[in-house]
Amino acid sequence: MAGPDLDKNGRVVRPPLLTFERFIEQGMSCIVRLVIDDASKGDLQTVQFSLTLEQCREIAANLMIAAQVIELERPTAPNELVQ
């Protein structure tokens, strides 16, 4: 798998996700719509795509792992230290 997209200065391109919706298509697939704030283009970008049952499970598992890693790597502010 390739790394994340970079801008012309070599920084990671990471427009924020504003909203997401999912729709079940008659028990066959999951339609996902993502709305992204693309400041570089000055507007919102929408992408909609279909996922199989297996893809839904794989993405869900990978996002849970990502959330756990972020929680573990998050710096602790001095006022949050347990004494």
Quick: pLDDT tens for 2-49.
888 888 899 888 889 999 999 999 889 999 999 999 877 778 999 999
CA distance 29 to 52: 5
Dihedral of the alpha carbons of 4, 8, 11, 17, in degrees to the nearest 10: -60
Answer yes or no: pTM beyond 0.85: no
Distances 65 to 13, 16, 39, 40, 68 between C-alpha atoms, Å: 21, 20, 28, 29, 5
